[in-house]
Amino acid sequence: MPAPQSRHPNFPVPHGNTLRAKGWRQEALLRLLENVLSVGEDPENLVVYAALGKAARNWASHKAIVETLIGMDEDQTLVIQSGKPVALLKTHASAPLVVMANCNLVGQWAKAEIFYELEKKGLICWGGLTAGAWQYIGSQGVIQGTYEIFMRIAEKRFDGSLAGKFILTAGMGGMGGAQPLAGRMAGAAILVVDVDAARAKTRHEIGFLDEIAPDLDSALAAIETAVAQQKPVSIGLVANAADIYPEIVRRGITPDIVTDQTSAHDLVYGYVPSGIPLAEVRRLRVDDPKYLMAASRASIVRHVGAMLDMQKAGAEVFDNGNLIRTQAREGGVENAFDIPIFTEAYLRPLFCEAIGPFRWMALSGEESDIAKIDDLVLKLFPDNHIVTNWIDLARKYVPFEGLPARIAWLGHMERTRLAVAVNSMVANGELKGPIAFSRDHLDAGAMAHPNIMTENMRDGSDAIADWPLLNAMTMCSSMADLVVIHSGGGGYAGYMTSAGVTLVADGTIAATSRLQTALTNDTSLGIIRYADAGYETARDAAAKHNVGYLPLAEGAI
Ligand code: NAD
């Protein structure tokens, strides 16, 4: 089989069955590190996605991590602090091979300016959610999440179908790049604006974008035709969203659905203010970041102002996790939070049952392994219509990026059943090599983010970061292979804390035990987090699955 394609010739996708490390567990984590760079946005600078989300702090750290993974034994643990390896400790064979803490600042000091200062000094790095944790699988990782959001809106507002509906959004980077494909898969006519022609070109080349329109008039004409013919289409436009959104309002056009996935969380290295050419923005990032922050904020104020206007005119408008409302409110848009967050608006009922973005990667690089696991998913969960529908769609439309991988929203015990069954397939040679499992940090028990994941929790526990910390500790004590705690987000100003976990199905009996224990405990804590916040669905799930929840007597605190 030919080697999997990399977006970047200098960063090949690992494949084959020759081990460089002393065992598959170590080799697996090494391949995941290589993979995030091969599918990343700017690997020369170690940047994977989300503006500055890095796989390692610097190249010296990267080299030391690679050498350590290759040389370490199974009863050792590599300790990584903000992308820099700091210790290799003797532990035991059931302990995690790698533990990490990325971008965690103490409360009062968790401010964008302090982050940038420490970053410049080389003391810290932002790991995004899955970048620093080596779990990113390209924009395919977020396609199902985006698709499910669109379909929940279809059910809520449009009788279950987006045929003939117009979605307006922006951002075609590492995550936002999934939007054109997800919109088209959902049956809509989607217009995606990005200020960087290179990003649009990449999404066009991989087939996520049907065409790049030369200007707004042509883009809107193409959308109008597709809407009239009820034809799914994805159109790109190279322009600044802070100019285009208000212009669409000015023309009296109201899309059916409006969102945005520019990297608005970062006013310096992410969001591009209107009126300043991209090359000049790149210079200002170094020469005058303060000016850039102010300019970005002013643009976001106009950008969100237009989103609010479209909401008033009847569009379904939502924040897709990039903190654009937060930045706008800080810029004086007092009603920015009239725009709901996608988690609370559409996905919380799923999280109450610990259903979330679970993913697996074929470490051998063999696409046939993913095809066999697709078949297994369909066989194991025939009544789970979200998943069966998704696997059918993904097989048809989602191209592999880097190591062949699949994402599917699975819940409590579904993940465990699948992973244990896959481990048996590795053991009996049905698959060509081991499989790594991980899940997004945006998962039921794994993230505290009061402006994304935990906004408006029923008991008001939005900002309590104990849950992801407990999750990480539980994953360490449940024998996971890699466990990580991330913080930052929102201009890196301590907007969130999250935990990540990766497990390797290498076909051994020990792996069965690790997968069984860690994946079951991970989703148990997810259900418990929502049960404890007072969600009935989660309380029912806790009782049904006997997840070990310890509720206090009614009325006790
Ligand atoms: P990225 O930095 O890779 O890409 C951002 C894109 O936005 C770039 O292509 C850039 O050119 C474009 N852009 C910036 N300013 C613009 C403007 N004014 N007009 C038009 N285009 C502009 O970031 P990413 O990885 O795609 O992530 C995007 C955002 O989504 C981030 O804020 C990230 O934190 C957030 N995110 C959300 C989720 C989720 O689950 N909803 C998951 C991951 C990331």
Terminal-residue alpha carbon distance, the chain: 59
With vertex at residue 105, the alpha carbon angle to CA 100 and CA 106, rounded to the nearest 5 degrees, is 125
Place of tokens 């322009």: 239
Q: State if residue 270 touches ligand 1 by the CB under 6 angstroms criterion.
A: yes
**pLDDT score for 208:** 94
Quote the strand ranges of 270-366, DSSP E.
316-317, 356-362
Q: Is the CB of 474 under 6 A from ligand 1?
A: no
Q: Does the pLDDT at position 326 exceed 80?
A: yes
Q: Answer yes or no: is the C-beta of 302 below 6 A from any ligand 1 atom.
A: no
Task: Over range 83-94, report the average pLDDT.
Answer: 98
* pLDDT, position 490: 62
Using a pLDDT cut of 90, give the percent of the chain over it: 93
Q: Is the CB of 498 under 6 A from ligand 1?
A: no
Residue 157's pLDDT is what?
Answer: 96
**Does residue 142's CB lie within 6 angstroms of at least one atom of ligand 1?**
yes
Find out whether the beta carbon of 180 lies less than 6 Å from any atom of ligand 1.
Answer: no
pLDDT above 80: residue 340? yes
The Cα–Cα gap between 448 and 462 comes to 7
Could you identify the residue written with the tokens 């190591």? 403
CB 133 within 8 A of CB 112: no
At 154 the pLDDT is: 96
| CA dist., res. 16 & res. 433, Å (int) | 8
The verdict on the CB of residue 194 being under 6 Å from ligand 1 is yes
* Residue 73 predicted with pLDDT over 90: yes
Give the Cα separation of 99 and 472 in Å (integer).
9
Q: What is the dihedral of CA 266, 83, 48, 193, to 10 degrees?
A: -10
Evaluate if residue 5 carries a pLDDT over 90: no
Rg (CA), the chain: 22
Whether 318 lines ligand 1, by a CB cut-off of 6 Å, is no
For residue 344, the 8-state DSSP code is: I
Burial string for 504-539 (b: 16+ CB within 10 Å, else e) reads bbbbbeebbebbbbbbbbbbbbbbbbbbbbebebbb
Q: Is 241 in the pocket of ligand 1 (CB under 6 A)?
A: yes
Q: How far is the CA of 176 from the centre of ligand 1 (A)?
A: 5
Helix axis angle, 367-380 relative to 414-427, nearest 10°? 130
**Which spans in 478-557 are helix H?**
509-532, 536-545
Cα 182 to ligand 1 centre (Å)? 15
- pLDDT tens by residue, 226-265: 999 999 999 999 999 999 999 999 999 999 999 999 999 9
Mean pLDDT of 182-194: 97
pLDDT band at 3 (very low <50, low <70, confident <90, very high): confident
Closest atom of ligand 1 to CA, residue 323: 32
Q: Which atom of ligand 1 is nearest to the CA of 324?
A: 32
C-alpha count within 13 angstroms, C-beta hemisphere, residue 244:
24
Residue 175 CB less than 6 A away from ligand 1: yes
Q: Is the CB of 263 under 6 A from ligand 1?
A: yes
Model pLDDT, residue 491: 66
Does residue 67 surpass a pLDDT of 70? yes
Q: How confident is the model at residue 536 (pLDDT cuts 50, 70, 90)?
A: very high
Question: Among residues 83, 9, 81, 13, which one has the least CA distance to residue 47?
Answer: 83
Question: Which residues belong to the annotated binding site?
Answer: 174-176, 194, 199, 240-241, 261-265, 271-272, 490
Q: Per-residue pLDDT averaged across 455-471, rounded? A: 97
Specify binding-site residues for NAD(+). Answer: 174-176, 194, 199, 240-241, 261-265, 271-272, 490
Ligand 1 atom with the shortest distance to the CA of 193: 20
The CA 169 to ligand 1 mean position distance, Å, reads 11
Inter-residue contact 359 to 407 (CB < 8 Å) = yes
Cα 320 to ligand 1 centre (Å): 10
Does position 192 have pLDDT exceeding 90, yes or no?
yes
pLDDT at 557 over 70: no
d(CA 499, CA 17): 30
**pLDDT greater than 90 at residue 355:** yes
Give mean pLDDT, residues 200-204.
Answer: 96
Mean pLDDT of 272-296: 96
In angstroms, rounded to a whole number, what is the distance separating the alpha carbons of residues 457 and 450? 9
Residue 291's H or E segment, with its range, is helix 289-312
**Is the minimum distance from the CB of 170 to ligand 1 under 6 angstroms?**
yes
Centre of ligand 1 from the C-alpha of residue 171, in Å: 5
Residue nearest to atom 21 of ligand 1 (CA): 194
Task: Check if the beta carbon of residue 65 is closer than 8 Å to that of residue 78.
Answer: yes
Which percentage of the chain shows pLDDT scores above 70?
A: 99
pLDDT of residue 556: 66
Residue nearest atom 31 of ligand 1, based on CA coordinates: 263
**Burial class of 394 by CB neighbour count within 10 A (0 to 12, 13 to 18, 19+):** buried
Top mutation candidate among 172, 262, 266, 339 for ligand 1, by most atoms within 8 Å of CB:
262
Ligand 1 centre to CA of 533 (Å) is: 30
Q: One-letter amino acid identity for 557?
A: I
Spatial separation of the C-alpha atoms in residues 501 and 483, rounded to whole Å? 5
Measured distance CA(354)–CA(467) in Å, rounded: 14
Distance of CA 293 to the CA centre of its chain: 25
Tell me how far apart the alpha carbons of residues 179 and 203 are, in angstroms, rounded to a whole number: 10
Helix or strand run (H / E) with residue 88: strand 84-90
Mean pLDDT of the chain: 96
Q: Per-residue pLDDT averaged across 192-217, rounded?
A: 97
Inter-residue contact 319 to 339 (CB < 8 Å): yes
Q: Count of alpha carbons within 13 Å of 130, Cβ hemisphere only? A: 28
Q: What mean pLDDT is predicted for residues 352-357?
A: 96
Domains identified in the chain and CATH numbers: 139-346 (3.40.50.10730)
- Residue having the nearest C-alpha atom to atom 8 of ligand 1: 173
The half-sphere exposure of 277 on its side-chain side, counting CA atoms within 13 A, is 2
